Amino acid sequence: MQTSNNAKRFEQAVLPHLDAAYNLARWLTHNEQDAEDIVQEAYLRAFKFFHSFHGTDARPWLLTIVRNTYYTWIQQKRAHEPIAYLDEEIEQAGSDALNPEELVLQSMNHDLLREALEQLPVEFREVIILRELEGLSYKEIAAIIAVPLGTVMSRLARARKRLQYYLTCRMNKE
Protein backbone atom coordinates (compact mmCIF):
# COMPACT_ATOMS: atom_id res chain seq x y z
CA MET A 1 0.00 0.00 0.00
CA GLN A 2 2.88 2.38 0.82
CA THR A 3 4.40 1.84 -2.64
CA SER A 4 1.04 2.64 -4.24
CA ASN A 5 0.74 5.87 -2.22
CA ASN A 6 4.30 6.83 -3.17
CA ALA A 7 3.56 6.17 -6.84
CA LYS A 8 0.45 8.35 -6.69
CA ARG A 9 2.32 11.13 -4.86
CA PHE A 10 5.11 10.89 -7.44
CA GLU A 11 2.64 11.14 -10.32
CA GLN A 12 0.97 14.19 -8.78
CA ALA A 13 4.15 15.98 -7.75
CA VAL A 14 6.67 15.15 -10.48
CA LEU A 15 4.93 14.11 -13.70
CA PRO A 16 3.45 17.58 -14.38
CA HIS A 17 7.02 18.85 -14.83
CA LEU A 18 7.91 16.51 -17.68
CA ASP A 19 7.93 19.34 -20.24
CA ALA A 20 10.28 21.46 -18.11
CA ALA A 21 12.59 18.48 -17.60
CA TYR A 22 12.68 17.76 -21.32
CA ASN A 23 13.19 21.42 -22.18
CA LEU A 24 16.23 21.68 -19.93
CA ALA A 25 17.68 18.39 -21.17
CA ARG A 26 17.10 19.40 -24.81
CA TRP A 27 18.95 22.68 -24.35
CA LEU A 28 21.81 20.99 -22.55
CA THR A 29 22.26 18.17 -25.06
CA HIS A 30 21.22 19.84 -28.34
CA ASN A 31 19.68 16.51 -29.27
CA GLU A 32 16.10 15.29 -28.92
CA GLN A 33 16.91 11.60 -28.45
CA ASP A 34 19.66 12.27 -25.91
CA ALA A 35 17.32 14.61 -24.06
CA GLU A 36 14.67 11.90 -23.94
CA ASP A 37 17.23 9.43 -22.58
CA ILE A 38 18.36 11.88 -19.91
CA VAL A 39 14.80 12.69 -18.87
CA GLN A 40 13.94 9.00 -18.67
CA GLU A 41 17.00 8.32 -16.51
CA ALA A 42 16.25 11.39 -14.38
CA TYR A 43 12.67 10.25 -13.80
CA LEU A 44 13.90 6.81 -12.79
CA ARG A 45 16.29 8.42 -10.31
CA ALA A 46 13.56 10.75 -9.08
CA PHE A 47 11.19 7.85 -8.50
CA LYS A 48 13.89 5.81 -6.76
CA PHE A 49 14.67 8.67 -4.36
CA PHE A 50 11.20 10.19 -4.12
CA HIS A 51 11.00 9.15 -0.48
CA SER A 52 13.69 11.78 0.23
CA PHE A 53 11.62 14.60 -1.32
CA HIS A 54 9.83 16.51 1.42
CA GLY A 55 9.21 19.84 -0.30
CA THR A 56 6.08 21.35 -1.76
CA ASP A 57 7.37 22.16 -5.26
CA ALA A 58 8.93 19.21 -7.06
CA ARG A 59 9.96 21.22 -10.11
CA PRO A 60 13.31 22.55 -8.81
CA TRP A 61 14.05 19.16 -7.24
CA LEU A 62 13.37 17.39 -10.55
CA LEU A 63 15.36 19.89 -12.62
CA THR A 64 18.31 19.38 -10.27
CA ILE A 65 18.10 15.67 -10.99
CA VAL A 66 17.88 16.31 -14.75
CA ARG A 67 20.94 18.58 -14.60
CA ASN A 68 22.94 16.08 -12.54
CA THR A 69 21.89 13.25 -14.85
CA TYR A 70 23.11 15.28 -17.82
CA TYR A 71 26.52 15.87 -16.24
CA THR A 72 26.88 12.20 -15.33
CA TRP A 73 25.83 11.20 -18.84
CA ILE A 74 28.20 13.64 -20.55
CA GLN A 75 31.14 12.42 -18.46
CA GLN A 76 30.42 8.77 -19.13
CA LYS A 77 29.33 8.71 -22.74
CA ARG A 78 30.03 11.89 -24.59
CA ALA A 79 33.34 13.26 -23.35
CA HIS A 80 35.07 12.91 -26.72
CA GLU A 81 32.17 12.67 -29.16
CA PRO A 82 30.97 15.63 -31.22
CA ILE A 83 27.49 16.86 -30.34
CA ALA A 84 24.89 16.41 -33.08
CA TYR A 85 22.56 19.36 -33.59
CA LEU A 86 18.99 18.77 -34.63
CA ASP A 87 16.52 21.43 -35.67
CA GLU A 88 13.79 22.09 -33.18
CA GLU A 89 10.19 22.49 -34.23
CA ILE A 90 8.90 26.02 -34.14
CA GLU A 91 5.59 26.53 -32.42
CA GLN A 92 3.51 28.95 -34.39
CA ALA A 93 0.62 29.78 -32.14
CA GLY A 94 -1.68 32.08 -33.97
CA SER A 95 0.30 31.76 -37.20
CA ASP A 96 -2.88 32.17 -39.25
CA ALA A 97 -2.82 35.89 -38.44
CA LEU A 98 0.77 36.27 -39.72
CA ASN A 99 1.55 36.90 -43.35
CA PRO A 100 4.34 34.92 -45.08
CA GLU A 101 6.90 37.68 -44.55
CA GLU A 102 6.18 37.84 -40.82
CA LEU A 103 6.41 34.05 -40.60
CA VAL A 104 9.84 34.12 -42.25
CA LEU A 105 11.04 36.87 -39.91
CA GLN A 106 9.69 35.03 -36.87
CA SER A 107 11.42 31.84 -38.00
CA MET A 108 14.70 33.69 -38.63
CA ASN A 109 14.55 35.34 -35.20
CA HIS A 110 13.85 31.99 -33.53
CA ASP A 111 16.72 30.34 -35.38
CA LEU A 112 19.08 33.20 -34.56
CA LEU A 113 18.17 33.08 -30.87
CA ARG A 114 18.54 29.29 -30.76
CA GLU A 115 21.92 29.61 -32.47
CA ALA A 116 23.00 32.28 -29.97
CA LEU A 117 21.91 30.13 -27.02
CA GLU A 118 23.79 27.15 -28.38
CA GLN A 119 26.97 29.26 -28.57
CA LEU A 120 26.89 29.91 -24.83
CA PRO A 121 29.02 27.75 -22.55
CA VAL A 122 26.82 25.23 -20.76
CA GLU A 123 27.08 26.98 -17.36
CA PHE A 124 25.66 30.16 -18.91
CA ARG A 125 23.13 28.37 -21.11
CA GLU A 126 21.62 26.43 -18.21
CA VAL A 127 20.98 29.54 -16.09
CA ILE A 128 19.38 31.35 -19.05
CA ILE A 129 17.15 28.37 -19.80
CA LEU A 130 16.13 27.93 -16.16
CA ARG A 131 15.42 31.65 -15.69
CA GLU A 132 14.02 32.84 -19.01
CA LEU A 133 12.36 29.73 -20.41
CA GLU A 134 11.41 27.91 -17.21
CA GLY A 135 10.72 31.04 -15.16
CA LEU A 136 12.52 29.87 -12.05
CA SER A 137 13.65 32.29 -9.36
CA TYR A 138 17.31 33.01 -8.72
CA LYS A 139 17.02 31.13 -5.45
CA GLU A 140 15.57 28.05 -7.18
CA ILE A 141 18.30 28.16 -9.84
CA ALA A 142 20.98 28.42 -7.14
CA ALA A 143 19.55 25.33 -5.46
CA ILE A 144 19.33 23.41 -8.75
CA ILE A 145 22.89 24.08 -9.89
CA ALA A 146 24.33 24.08 -6.35
CA VAL A 147 26.02 27.48 -6.46
CA PRO A 148 25.60 30.66 -4.39
CA LEU A 149 22.90 33.14 -5.37
CA GLY A 150 25.55 35.66 -6.43
CA THR A 151 27.01 33.16 -8.87
CA VAL A 152 23.59 32.71 -10.47
CA MET A 153 23.23 36.47 -10.83
CA SER A 154 26.74 36.79 -12.24
CA ARG A 155 26.25 33.95 -14.73
CA LEU A 156 22.93 35.39 -15.87
CA ALA A 157 24.48 38.81 -16.39
CA ARG A 158 27.38 37.33 -18.34
CA ALA A 159 25.09 35.08 -20.37
CA ARG A 160 22.85 38.00 -21.28
CA LYS A 161 25.87 40.10 -22.23
CA ARG A 162 27.22 37.31 -24.44
CA LEU A 163 23.81 36.82 -26.06
CA GLN A 164 23.55 40.54 -26.70
CA TYR A 165 27.05 40.66 -28.20
CA TYR A 166 26.43 37.62 -30.38
CA LEU A 167 23.08 38.87 -31.64
CA THR A 168 24.42 42.39 -32.27
CA CYS A 169 27.35 41.03 -34.26
CA ARG A 170 25.06 38.79 -36.30
CA MET A 171 22.60 41.59 -36.99
CA ASN A 172 25.41 43.93 -38.09
CA LYS A 173 26.71 41.32 -40.55
CA GLU A 174 23.35 41.02 -42.26
Q: Rounded mean pLDDT of 107-121?
A: 80
Task: Output DSSP code: residue 81.
Answer: S
- 42-55 residue pLDDT tens: 999 999 989 888 88
Boundaries of CATH 1.10.10.10 in the chain?
98-174
Domain covering 1-86 in this structure, CATH number: 1.10.1740.10
Phi, psi at 136, each rounded to 5°: -80, 155
pLDDT in tens, 68-78: 999 898 888 75
Buried b (16+ CB within 10 A) or exposed e, 146-156: eeeeebbeebb
Question: What is the reported pTM?
Answer: 0.66
CATH architecture of 98-174: Orthogonal Bundle (1.10)
Residue 2: closest CA among 51, 64, 54, 73: 51
pLDDT digits (tens, 9 = 90+) for 128-171: 999 988 899 999 999 999 999 999 999 999 999 998 888 888 77
